[in-house]
Amino acid sequence: MTLILQDKTALRQWREALPAGRRVGFVPTMGALHAGHMSLVTLAQQEADPVVVSIFVNPLQFGPNEDLARYPRPLDADIAKLEAAGVTALFLPSVPDMYPPDASTFVEESMVSGPLCGAERPGHFRGVLTVVLKLLQLVRPQLAVFGQKDAQQCAVIERMVRDLDIPVTIRRGPIVREADGLALSSRNVYLSPADRAAAPLIYQSLKAAAAAHAAGERDAAALARIGLDVLAGAERIEPQYWEARHPESLAPLVEIGPEGALLAVAARLGQTRLIDNVLLTSGAAAAA
């Protein structure tokens, strides 16, 4: 049975009682767990024992007009999934436990967090990094697993871990998709039937650009045009960005070189914002 640790004190006591030498794996989440999250749990279990999952809807990473209040919180179903998967412990803190009312210390990264979602959601990555650093400090894992769907989040966290000498290995789990290509996301439940029918075009736009790259196209702007052309015929999809970026620094690219590229898109369908990406290598799509 999964042990539920409901505050920092309980987590610290459990962590201190672990025998020395155990390789602790950690999967931080905001809950509303789906097969994508569970694939990260499986990846952690392959490399670590015990494995801790956290569920915490982090208010710091939501903007004033975003979906904090309505973010899905099916806690009983989440716990059942974690127990079925054999997860060792669930860290389930409250907001007051994580953030004292007069908290005044935050974590910022000034380069990788700037473009893409950083430009569209000011302050978002400050909230992400602050909570991730706190969770890493509390759990003290040797391994932490994040999903490639949030590619910029992965890059920003990797930069923080490098720059601040945090003793943890970061793994990226591949994107898990529906049969029609839509990347699994907790926010997919918001989609109306018409929006859900249109949503797979987001991945199709990435696949079209990846195919052009595999056929020899190396101009970053041309790849973006190919992707945007796929979305142009879908009235329900409003792109926020569609870009080719350096896969690690997320710097803008003119041409795709041997280091490859991250093809990244964010779009709104009604009130729902979805993101997706494909990672290109020098020859083809490496992570779709």
Q: Do 115 and 245 form a contact (C-beta atoms < 8 A)?
A: yes
Task: Count CB neighbours of 96 within 10 A.
Answer: 9
* 37 catalytic per annotation: yes
Helices (H), the chain: 8-17, 35-47, 75-84, 95-98, 117-120, 124-139, 151-163, 193-198, 200-214, 220-232
- Picking from 160, 204, 163, 197, the residue whose alpha carbon sits closest to that of residue 181 is 204
Question: What 3-state class would DSSP assign to 188?
Answer: helix
Specify the DSSP class assigned to residue 19: P
Task: Count CB neighbours of 249 within 10 A.
Answer: 13
Which residue is catalytic, options 34, 37, 124, 246?
37
Which residues are known catalytic residues? 37
